[in-house]
Every structure is written in structure tokens, then in C-alpha cells.
Amino acid sequence: MLEIKKVESLVSISELKGQFFALATAPLDGMWHFGFVPMSDHFGFYEDQALVGYCCINADRYMLQYYLSPLAKTRSRELFTLIAQQNSAVIGTVKGAFVSTTEPEYLSLCLDNSTKFVVNSLMYQLSTASITNSDVEINMALATPEMLVPLVAFAVESIGAPEQWLTGYYSNLIQRQELWVSLKGEHIIATGECRKFDDYQTDFVDLGMIVAKNERGQGIATKVLGYLINVATRQGLKPICSTESDNVGAQKAMVRAGLVSNNRLIQIEFIQD
């Protein structure tokens, strides 16, 4: 008989997470799986006290990951349906799921229980036909701890992200030497992130960029991405990134930088009684 329990330490499910990532047909989105997932609640699936699977549910009650070992006696489809139909007292309400097209088994289970879905984001990788440009015409430098306050203010102004979250997020990137800055005089006009993975898809690096509102439309985003692609490839890493489905400007910049989008992140709503 299967039992569901809340997971108190993510270390206990690290092996299962490795199996989950191994099923993906392409690298998973870095911000979702290494930014949002660790902040979500995790629930373990146990058979005879043995951990055989898990799922994670975010604060908005959407599932972000689901995995059941093929060695489990429980049928994956039946367990998933039980959770999706709000029949787990331990997990509680689950409105829907976020799942990518790189996760075929998880995606199929989500679709079986869906009422509707929308494309949330486009996922990009470097095109195999792209040639790295070693002479990208933009000056960028690694961010220093002294730049934290103006960097946070820049991001708040440019994209409206929460100041408290940005402070911790940027502090970590600066410490890891994964945040780059482009200046015009003393003013920040763009930032670029080149985030490495500590676990699972360690052959890849996740890119991100922000351009000041009054500097957009000049090709700066494409140059920032080109610079970051060079940083990644010089380290033997494969760049990936993503952007919201309605962010046409970012999508154009990514294509111009030599990135292609063959996969999507989808938001699915589950059937409600």
C-alpha cells in the first residue's frame, strides 16, 4: 500500500530527482527547477516504508515535478489522477501543473487530467548551426559586491521584481561570479546572468538578461546574449534560456543570438469537481 508523506529534507529525494531529470529529452528550465522548485513543498511516495517517488507543489497549488519509480508497485497514472482530483488529504488542493514538452511522461499525465492549457514560456538552446562570435561589441564586467544596491534598484525599475528577493538572488550570483554588468558612464544599461548548475544538468548553463527601459530597441539584448554565449562556450558549457510566451522582444533577441526554441513550458489546469 502506498503512503504519501511531506518531505522535510530534499537530500532524501536527491536520487529520485536525478532519475526525474534523466527522463527529460532536453535540459529543463533552470529558473523553474532550481529557483522555484526548492521553495515548493515536496511530498514523498512510500511503499513498505521505501521511498519510490515524489511530487512538488508550489505556494499557488500548482505541481512542478512528479516522478514515480518504474520499480514501484503503484500505477503511476492512478496515483497522479488521485492527486490531480484532490483526493490526497496530505497534499490537498492541486489546481494544475507547470510542465514542459521535454518531460513526455509527466506531460502525458498532466494532459490526461487537464481542462485547458496555455503556453507559459518558450525554452531555447544554442543552435548547432550557430558559430560563436568572439568579437561581440559590448563591454561587460563581472558584478562586484559593491554594486549590489544599484543592481537591485536597476532590476526593480526594469522588470518590477521584488526588492527583497532580488537582494538575496543577486548576492548569490555575485558570490558565484555569475552576474555581468554593462555600463554607460556610471549608469547600468544591462545585466547578464550565466547560471551554472550544481546538480543534474551540469553540462549546461542558464542565461538571463535585462536591458534598461530607455535602452531597448537598439540590439543590446542580442549583444548581451552573444557575450554570455561566449562566456559559456569558453567554459565548455551549453547555453540554455527561456522567456515568457508574450515577450516578443526577448524572443527576437534570442533568435538573433543564435538560439532556437524547440520546447515549451506549459501551464495546465486540472479538472475540478
Q: What whole-number distance in Å separates Cα of residue 8 and Cα of residue 4?
A: 13
Domain match, 161 and 201 both: yes
Domain match, 136 and 57 both: no
Q: State the CATH number of the domain containing residue 210.
A: 3.40.630.30
**In 47-89, alpha helices (H):** 76-84
CA torsion 103-107-110-114 (nearest 10°) is: 140
Residue ranges of the chain with pLDDT lower than 70? 129-136, 273
Q: State the CATH number of the domain containing residue 41.
A: 3.40.630.80
Q: What whole-number distance in Å separates Cα of residue 3 and Cα of residue 139?
A: 55
According to the model, what pLDDT value does residue 137 have? 83
Cα–Cα separations (whole angstroms), residue 13 to 42, 67, 130, 144, 182: 9, 11, 38, 35, 40
Q: Residue 209: which domain range?
A: 131-257
The last residue of one of the domains, among 73, 99, 121, is 121
Domain match, 159 and 110 both: no
Q: Is residue 141 part of a domain?
A: yes
Domain match, 191 and 153 both: yes
What's the domain count of the chain? 2
Q: What whole-number distance in Å separates Cα of residue 220 and Cα of residue 230?
A: 15
pTM score, whole prediction: 0.91
The bridge status of strand 259-270 relative to strand 238-244 is: unpaired
What does the pLDDT look like over 14-56, one tens digit per residue?
A: 999 999 999 999 999 999 999 899 999 999 999 999 999 999 9
